[in-house]
Amino acid sequence: MTGETPIQEKLDLDVDALLGDSDWAEPVRRVPGEAVLTVSTEGWEGPLDLLLALARTQKVDLREISILALVEQYLRFIEEAVELRLELAADYLVMAAWLAYLKSGLLLPKEAQPDPSPEELALRLHLRLQRLEAMREAGARLMGRDRIGRDVFVRPAPEGLHRPKSIVWQASLFELIQAYGQVKARTAPRIHVVARRPVMTLDEAIERVSRLLGMEIDWTDLSRFLPETADPVLRRSALASSFVAALELAKQGRVELRQEAIFAPLYLKPASLGAPA
């Protein structure tokens, strides 16, 4: 970070440099026509991750890193993010507050230092960063090994060996505990569930479809009768209810239905004259 560049460029630079890893999906989204940047906090997995990314920009061995410089980098980053109205999760601000406290402690004369000493806190932070970095590297090296199914291959369809038992039942531990989880989830008391689920009842659907049907004269796709909503759950409920409503109205002779093929759009038309209204 040099002092000359405008603040936004500086931040862009940092973000790009920090996010060289292609695994991190689009952490920075620029909203067109607006000066607001959104740093998705998913780009970093929490403040420790961001700290580690910042530490890497010091371009020294992690063991030699200056914690004070790192604290300043973090605080500056958060400050700029706030100025640019970037969205930051609360834990980033909690970390910022803690680091600010650490920084003031580190700058105090040694006699006036609180207990536990800022040096000890800094050392702990240092150790945490080293451990995270070590595991990150270990993970990368692990993934880079010759892996079965990618680099080396076993026989895809072996004959299998004769077994003493005639039937071999198969189930994995994962399936077992997953099944238990689902039983528990299924049978746990559900109290506030129904109220939260937006649904369209059959009565509402019949009322709505017959009302709208009065305004149509030609074949009309069933989807045109659905209420406008962005909620996919409500939309599905409305579709199901409206479909049943259409069937009910057809049964009553109030509507004619037409469908070209299975899963093709369902068309509705008011029943032709002469039919019971």
Partner 1 sequence: MSLTVAARLVEAVLFAAEGPLTPQEIARHAALEESILPHLTALADHYAGRGIELVERGGRWHFQTATDLSYILRREREEPRKLSRAAVETLAIIAYHEPVSRAEIEAIRGVQVAKGTLDVLMEAGWIRPAGRREVPGRPLIYATTPDFLSHFGLASRRDLPGIEDLRAAGLLDPIDLAMENMESQSLLENDEEQDEDEDNEA
Show the tokens assigned to 36.
Answer: 């607001």
8 Å CB contact between 36 and 51: no
Report the C-alpha gap between 254 and 246 in whole angstroms: 9
The span of 12-20, 47-55, 78-86, 212-220 binding partner 1 (CB under 8 A) equals: 47-55
> Among the candidate windows 111-119, 201-209, 223-231, 251-259, which touches partner 1 by CB under 8 A?
111-119
Q: Which of 68, 117, 204, 234 binds partner 1 (CB under 8 A)?
A: 117
138 binds partner 1 (CB under 8 A): yes
Contact between 60 and partner 1 per CB under 8 A: no
- Binding to partner 1 by residue 112, rule CB under 8 A? no
* 256 C-beta neighbours (distance < 10 Å), count: 16
CB of 108 to partner 1, least distance (A): 16
- The reply on whether position 107 binds partner 1 by CB under 8 A is no
C-alpha–C-alpha distance, residues 105 and 96, integer Å: 14
Q: Which of 87, 120, 207, 231 binds partner 1 (CB under 8 A)?
A: 120
Q: Could you report how far apart the first and last alpha carbons of the chain are, in Å?
A: 77
Contact stretch for partner 1 (CB under 8 A) within 16-24, 53-61, 72-80, 260-268: 16-24
Residue 104 touches partner 1, criterion: CB under 8 A: no
Q: What are phi and psi of 126, to 5 degrees?
A: -60, -45
- Please identify, among the stretches 31-39, 119-127, 234-242, 245-253, the one whose residues bind partner 1 according to the rule CB under 8 A: 119-127
216: CB partners within 8 A, 6+ apart: 224, 268, 269, 270
Q: Is 110 in the site for partner 1 (CB under 8 A)?
A: no
Q: Rounded to the nearest whole angstrom, what is the least distance from the CB of residue 238 to partner 1 in the complex?
A: 20
| Cα→Cα distances 79→36, 104, 212, 261, Å | 15, 17, 55, 60
Minimal distance, residue 172 CB to partner 1, in Å: 7
Question: What is the distance between the alpha carbons of residues 103 and 131, in angstroms, rounded to a whole number?
Answer: 22
Binders in 199-228 for partner 1, by CB under 8 A: none
Subset of 141-200 contacting partner 1 (CB under 8 A): 141-143, 145-163, 167-188, 190, 192-193, 196
3-state DSSP assignment of residue 274: coil
Q: What are residue 39's phi and psi, to 5 degrees?
A: -95, 105
> Which of 13, 127, 233, 247 lies at the binding interface for partner 1 (CB under 8 A)?
127
Q: Which of 98, 227, 234, 240 binds partner 1 (CB under 8 A)?
A: 98
Structure tokens at 222: 């069933």
Looking at beta carbons only, is 29 or 147 nearer to partner 1?
A: 147
Phi, psi for 266 (deg, rounded to 5)? -100, 125
Is 121 a binding residue for partner 1 by CB under 8 A? The answer is yes
How far apart are alpha carbons 182 and 191 in whole angstroms? 17
> Does position 230 bind partner 1 by CB under 8 A?
no
Contact 209, 242 (CB under 8 A): yes
Give the residue with the Cβ less far from partner 1, 46 or 198: 46
